[in-house]
């Protein structure tokens, strides 16, 4: 039996559906954090730290989910359901088993369908609570991070190329046009130690006096830090990728109009050659129309006076 499609009947319901629909220009992505059937203490701490770093734009479920198998056919329907329910386009799913200990799956969705997946194992993990530092350096809500990807494997290994894209999408936050440098107060440093392993650490940026107008920058590790070992990854389907990569049409170019960073918008106006001593008058001038109307009325009035003398 096929379920009937519910059509919105009010304008408010239509507006809500449009909010959940995919857009050509995305300004920010919400993250959904889920637990598997079984998780370890290390994995619980990893998910908590990710939620803390994304707490301004994330949804976390602590209940265990039994029927989620992202890399198996039919096992991703629950992920798509939760993505639709919470309007999240980024997914972080943690599970633990003897075959794949401390397993972390990072995924993206498009139109609430699974777009791509990266499965990594977490090793040598250090939580944010294990670091001692000035609490003023803790990441603030709305702050933007820097990213540093070190190692040639990010350009040569297909797995790390894919992981780099997903990590950038996961931690970059809301897309903005103008940026205040005071809000860029942290950095993620990712070092490729092998074609399948990335050492990731999170640091705060401290500006120190240098005796010049340019301050000296120091890094203070605030956690978390971990080794991410790529186990499996699934690239997007070509048709879905083509649909997701659509961009907005460029504005129609206006002739003879340019933009200057100093003077702003500039335009060229072309005028015909003018001859000195001659003035071309148009018949559409309002003053001439008024004069013609008055002259016509005076002429008609004079005719009436001649025909009907007193």
- Other beta carbons within 10 angstroms of residue 155's beta carbon come to 11
Give residue 160's region: left, alpha or beta (phi > 0; psi -120 to 50).
Answer: alpha
> Would you give per-residue pLDDT tens digits along the chain (310 residues)?
444 556 778 888 888 777 767 666 666 788 999 999 999 999 999 999 999 998 888 999 988 888 888 888 888 888 999 998 898 999 999 999 999 999 999 999 988 889 999 999 999 999 999 988 887 787 777 788 889 999 999 999 999 999 999 999 999 877 777 777 777 888 999 999 999 999 999 999 888 888 888 888 889 999 899 999 999 999 998 888 888 887 766 556 677 888 776 777 888 887 777 666 555 555 555 666 777 888 888 888 777 666 555 5
Contact assessment for residue 120 and residue 92, using Cβ atoms and an 8 Å cutoff: no
Q: Which residues contact 253 (CB under 8 A, 6 or more apart)?
A: none
The tokens for 241 are: 């990728």
Cα–Cα dist 308/265, whole Å = 66
Most distant CA pair in the chain, distance: 123
% pLDDT > 70, the chain: 85
pTM of the predicted structure, to 2 decimals: 0.72
- Phi first, then psi, for residue 245 (nearest 5°) are -90, 10
Domain range 28-237, CATH architecture: 3-Layer(aba) Sandwich (3.40)
Map out the domains of the chain as residue ranges.
28-237
- Phi first, then psi, for residue 218 (nearest 5°) are -125, 150
Contact assessment for residue 118 and residue 93, using Cβ atoms and an 8 Å cutoff: no
């Amino acid at each position: 039996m096929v379920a009937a499609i519910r059509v919105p009947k009010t304008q408010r319901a239509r507006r809500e559906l449009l909010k959940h629909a995919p857009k050509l220009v995305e300004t920010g992505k919400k993250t959904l954090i889920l637990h598997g059937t079984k998780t370890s203490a290390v994995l619980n701490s990893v998910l908590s730290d990710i939620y803390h770093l994304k707490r301004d734009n994330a949804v976390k479920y602590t209940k265990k989910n039994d029927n989620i198998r992202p890399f198996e056919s039919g096992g991703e329907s629950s992920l798509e359901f939760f993505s639709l329910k919470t309007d999240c386009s980024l997914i972080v799913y943690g599970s633990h088993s003897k075959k794949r200990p401390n397993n972390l799956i990072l995924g993206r969705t498009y139109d609430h369908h699974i777009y791509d997946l990266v499965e990594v194992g977490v090793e040598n993990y250090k939580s944010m609570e294990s670091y001692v530092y000035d609490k003023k350096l803790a990441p603030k809500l709305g702050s933007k991070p820097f990213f540093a990807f070190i190692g040639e494997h990010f350009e040569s290994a297909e797995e790390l190329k894919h992981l780099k894209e997903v990590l950038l999408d996961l931690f970059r936050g809301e897309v903005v046009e103008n940026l205040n440098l005071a809000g860029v107060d942290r950095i993620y440093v990712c070092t490729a130690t092998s074609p399948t392993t990335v050492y990731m650490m999170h640091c705060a940026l401290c500006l120190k006096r240098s005796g010049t107008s340019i301050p000296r920058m120091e890094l203070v590790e605030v956690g978390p830090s971990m080794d991410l070992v790529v186990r499996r990854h699934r690239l997007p389907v070509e048709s879905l990728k083509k649909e997701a990569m659509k961009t907005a049409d460029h504005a129609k170019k206006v002739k003879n109009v340019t933009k200057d960073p100093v003077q702003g918008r500039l335009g060229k106006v072309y005028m015909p050659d003018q001859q000195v001593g001659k003035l071309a008058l148009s018949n559409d001038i309002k003053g001439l129309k008024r004069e013609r109307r008055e002259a016509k009325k005076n002429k008609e009035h004079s005719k009436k006076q001649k025909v009907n003398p007193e």
